[in-house]
Amino acid sequence: MRPRVLVARTSSDATGDPTIRVLDGGQSHHLVRVLRLGTGAAVECFDGAGKRFDARLERPDPKACVVRLLAPIPADTESPLAIRLVQCISAAERMDWTVEKAVELGVHSIQPVVSARTPARLDAQRLQRRHEHWARIVEAACMQCGRDRLPALGEPIRLHHWLATVDRGPGRLRIVLDPCGPARLAALRHEPPQPVDLLAGPEGGLDAAELGAARAAGFEAVRLGPRVLRTETAGLAAIAALQAIAGDF
């Protein structure tokens, strides 16, 4: 399998040739120092907006590789179901895992939210650093799993603020995961697939006020079987089940 390279944030060279892309330092280091690729090596490029290309390594510079885009490659790796995962922020490694695997499972977007039981008290500066870190995870996951469209990653926001501003109009299926919820996921089968907002709580779960606010915003409380799942498991399990129902799997 050829190495995949994201070219969304790269630039053309001084000649303005639209087929030329200059890669950033991280990607250049990986191609030259880690994979040991040389001039003429075949790579695959994608733009993060749904397109991919055959490409060739023109200059193997470990600080600023140059690649040439060749023929476009027809591909469609996106799910028919647009899932927005609204994930309460968990501890560092757990949140990283959730973001990475949600991308692999095909979510359309990820909205990190701060809830009452978010384990760490995160100020604005720390939230910004974590958002930048998650953005890098999103890019790396797309490169690994073969997706050509980067899922949108929202800026972290407090859950009650997000619920107050969310569009409450028709046309979306809104689910909040609750071990005591009255509904089962299998009962929510819908055709054709509607966009889904999927709210997953933090370690310790959402508190009563947050569950009430979610229901007031049009979210249906849904349980995932008879067992209580961890925060890094619940959202991913629900995504996989929804994708299976929608025909993506």
The Cα–Cα gap between 96 and 99 comes to: 5
What local confidence, expressed as pLDDT, does residue 222 receive? 94
Q: Where are the beta strands (DSSP E) in 52-204?
A: 52-59, 66-72, 83-88, 109-114, 152-153, 157-158, 173-177, 183-184, 196-200
DSSP labels for the chain? ---EEE-TT-B--TT--TTEEEPPHHHHHIIIIIS---TT-EEEEE-BBS-EEEEEEEE--SSS-EEEEEEE-------SS-EEEEEE---HHHHHHHHHHHHHHT-SEEEEEE-TT-SS---HHHHHHHHHHHHHHHHHHHHHHT--BPPEEPPPEEHHHHHHHS--SSS-EEEEE-TT-SEEGGGG--SSPPPEEEEE--TT---HHHHHHHHHTTPEEEE-TTSPPPHHHHHHHHHHHHHHHHT--
Q: Which amino acid is at 66?
A: V
What local confidence, expressed as pLDDT, does residue 190 receive? 61
Domain boundaries, the chain: 4-72, 83-246
What local confidence, expressed as pLDDT, does residue 152 receive? 97
The Cα–Cα gap between 211 and 204 comes to: 13
Q: Identify the segments of the chain with pLDDT beneath 70.
A: 9, 12-15, 188-192
Tell me the CATH number for domain 4-72: 2.40.240.20
Q: Cβ atoms within 10 A of the Cβ of 169, count?
A: 7
So what CATH class is 83-246?
Answer: alpha beta
